[in-house]
Amino acid sequence: MTAISRSQYEDFAPKYDLIENAPSYKLEYQLIQAALGDCRRLRVLDLGGGSGLHARQAINAGASKVDVVDVSPSMLEIGKSIEASLGRTESIAWHIADVSRNISSQEISTSLLGPGEYDVVMVNWTFDHAKTLDDLRGMWANVALYLKPSGRFIGVRTCGKGLRAAYSRGDNGKYGVTLTNMEDIPNGVRFKVSFLVDDKVVVELDATSMEDSYALVDAIPRQLGIVDFEIVPYEEMAIVKADHEYWKEFIGEPNLVVVKARKG
């Protein structure tokens, strides 16, 4: 997440975990869980991990420890409070840094494992705060730097197929999210994301997504040695199987995708 994005996350950090009630997040949760699989004894780095929504999933999947890196102190403090309420103080470590820049050159580098030492690196939604190709390249460079050889990458991001889908327009929000104010920018698109609970907007943020990311081209990470990209299939998730008709529009034009890959 770039430093420019920091202020909006500071503003709505106290409300951010409300998105867990959105249908789209419930699907996202299951997709991430499937991507994580068995994480027993693994060390995980969560870039742009905020309050640790998915870091906690990794711990529940058996990870020995997760390092969460985020630019927003407020988001990290919320994560610490949640962990304390669960009676855990050592499972997740919290670090402030801009993940669009080389982490190894920032102060937190001494409190992380070294380059090439993480079994799993996650980047969830953070690519959708890359305002330029340089931002996106910086994020992927950190993934490539910190992953072990053959280490796993996992991440959720905007999917271009559903960017302008009818179900996510401002007057709809069927799955608890709307994408509005679409504006083309160099190499990508800018838009507003609104999360709804009981048809009321609870969280809003400005997002940008580079075409290399939303179109699943992934030329940048491939250049950095990340290979074997796979999409986690929606149809295999329990929430979709339980009501396939409800999710039919989404599956036809998905606006989010969970991607797996590995370091070659």
- Report the range of poorest mean pLDDT among 25-34, 127-136, 178-187, 199-208: 199-208
Which tops the pLDDT comparison, 77 or 18?
77
- The better pLDDT of the pair 56, 169 is held by 56
Res 9: pLDDT? 56
**pTM, two decimal places:** 0.93
Per-residue pLDDT averaged across 118-138, rounded? 98
Question: pLDDT tens-digit profile of 23-67?
Answer: 999 999 999 999 999 999 999 999 999 999 999 999 999 999 999
Distances (CA, A) of 247 to 28, 101, 176, 179, 254: 13, 37, 12, 17, 10
pLDDT above 90 (res 189): yes
pLDDT value at position 2? Answer: 47
- Structural domain includes residue 111: yes
The mean pLDDT value for 72-96 works out to 93
- Give me the pLDDT at residue 149, please: 98
Residue 171 has pLDDT above 80, yes or no: no
Residue-level pLDDT at 98: 95
Q: Which two tokens stand for residue 232?
A: 């986690």
DSSP string, 57-83: HHHHTT-SEEEEEES-HHHHHHHHHHH
Q: What 3-state DSSP class applies to 3?
A: helix
Q: For the segment 1-19, what is each residue's pLDDT rounded down to a tens digit?
A: 444 455 555 555 556 667 7
Average pLDDT over residues 62-88: 94
Expressed as residue numbers, the domain containing 31 is 3-160+214-263
**Percent of the chain predicted with pLDDT > 70:** 94
What's the rounded Cα separation, in Å, for the pair 97 and 106? 7
The answer, yes or no, to whether residue 107 has pLDDT greater than 90, is no
Find tokens 């070294």 and name the residue.
Answer: 114
Strand partners, 185: 188
Residue 62, domain member (yes or no): yes
Q: What is the mean pLDDT of the chain?
A: 93
Range 47-50 contact pairs with CB under 8 angstroms and sequence separation of 24 or more? 47/99, 47/121, 47/122, 47/123, 47/126, 47/139, 47/142, 47/143, 48/1, 48/99, 48/123, 48/124, 48/125, 48/126, 48/129, 48/139, 49/79, 49/122, 49/124, 50/9, 50/16, 50/75, 50/76, 50/79
As for how many domains the chain has, the answer is 1
- Cα gap 30→32, rounded to integer Å: 5
Q: Is residue 151, in this structure, part of any structural domain at all?
A: yes
Identify each DSSP E strand in 52-176 by its residue range. Answer: 65-70, 92-96, 118-123, 147-158
| Backbone φ/ψ region at 9: left (φ over 0), alpha (ψ -120 to 50), beta | alpha
Nearest to 103 by CA among 148, 77, 71, 130: 71
Residue 101 in domain: yes
Contacts of 41 (CB under 8 A, 6+ apart): 62, 64
Nearest residue to 222 via CA among 158, 163, 159, 153 = 153
Neighbours of 112 (CB within 10 A): 20
Q: Could you tell me if residue 203 is inside a domain?
A: no
pLDDT attached to residue 10: 54
Does residue 238 lie within any of the structural domains? yes
Q: Which of 161, 117, 143 lies closest to 229, judged by CA? A: 143
pLDDT at 131: 96
Mean pLDDT of 183-208: 92
Residue 17 has a pLDDT of: 64
User: For the domain that residue 54 is a member of, what is the CATH number?
Assistant: 3.40.50.150
Decide if 167 is inside a domain.
no
Nearest to 157 by CA among 227, 257, 71: 257
Residue 182 lies in a domain: no
Maximum alpha-carbon separation in the chain: 50
Rounded distance between C-alpha atoms, residue 169 and residue 119, angstroms:
38
